[in-house]
Amino acid sequence: MEKLPKIAIPVIVVAIILIIVLAKSAVTISSGEAGVLYKTFSGGVVTDEAPLGEGFHLIAPWNDVFVYEVRQQELFEQMKVLSSNGLEIQIDASAWYEPVYSDLGNLHQSLGENYLGRVIQPAIRSAARSVVGRYTPEQLYSSKRDVIQDEIFAETKKILDKQYVQLNEVLVRDVTLPRTIKDAIERKLKQEQESLEYEFRLVTASKEAEKVIIEAEGKAESNRILSASLTDKILQDKGIDATIKLSESPNTKVIVIGSGESGMPLILGNN
């Protein structure tokens, strides 16, 4: 009985050491994450091997694992930048990004866990300043939003391609101009729209007038040709034909008494 405590103490100590070792050696990587292994006594950050994937891993207790989220993430930025004429414009934009999985060790070694603040935010801000500085407030407000979105994406991606980060998309959510500038642009756009509408009405009216003139000229030409083709002989023949048809009508009594000035018979009376 007296020897039991003496045996139990080393066992307890060994058990505690084993628990500590297991706790330091066991690493669980959650869904959507990956781990970068750091070997304390053999080279530091492991860059020539694939990152530790999802699930349970055992490592040497003196090594460390740095866990990164490798799913697509979103950065929302509100930036104040200058237009081509020096006016301050606010751009609300989102960037969709994720670390390059195969380069996770290089990312950790060169940039660390705060790579968002070290490269992504400076990159998108620099690209936004560069792109917006090429356009006037009117262009940004009306027709160039999709263009600047594509250009900001292209310039930001060019910077991040060398930083072990993959940029998937840049979305320009809003462009906010100074109130006075916005009001002036809206007035100008309204005036331009009214001017275009007035020009459309003028063109429509002009085309209608041309149509009426063309129809009138066609009718006049038709009458001229018809008049030129009707000789006295033709008119006399037409009259005779009409008189014959009229005399054959059962409802008409025909009395011929001489002839008219044109030599046509005269028909008088009916039933």
The residues, any chain, with a CB within 8 Å of residue 136's CB and separated by 6 or more, are 83, 84, 85
Query: What DSSP assignment string belongs to 143-205?
Result: T-HHHHHHHHHHHHHHHHTTTTEEEEEEEEEEEE--HHHHHHHHHHHHHHHHHHHHHHHHHHH
pLDDT at 1: 45
Domain ranges within the chain, ordered by starting residue: 3-69, 73-177, 185-229, 232-267
Query: Is 99 in a helix, a strand, or coil?
Result: strand
Name residue 39's beta-bridge partners.
Answer: 44
Rounded Cα gap, residues 61 and 242, in angstroms: 125
pLDDT at 217: 76
Task: Map tokens 């809003």 to a residue.
Answer: 174
pLDDT at 54: 92
Rounded Cα gap, residues 50 and 102, in angstroms: 6
**Average pLDDT, consecutive stretches of 10 residues, N- to C-terminus, the chain (271 residues):** 57 65 77 92 88 89 91 93 84 94 94 93 93 84 79 93 92 81 63 64 76 78 67 62 64 50 54 51
CATH of domain 73-177: 3.30.479.30
- Tell whether pTM > 0.75: no
Amino acid at 44: G
Token pair recorded at residue 204: 């429509």
Is the CB of residue 57 less than 8 Å from the CB of residue 37? no
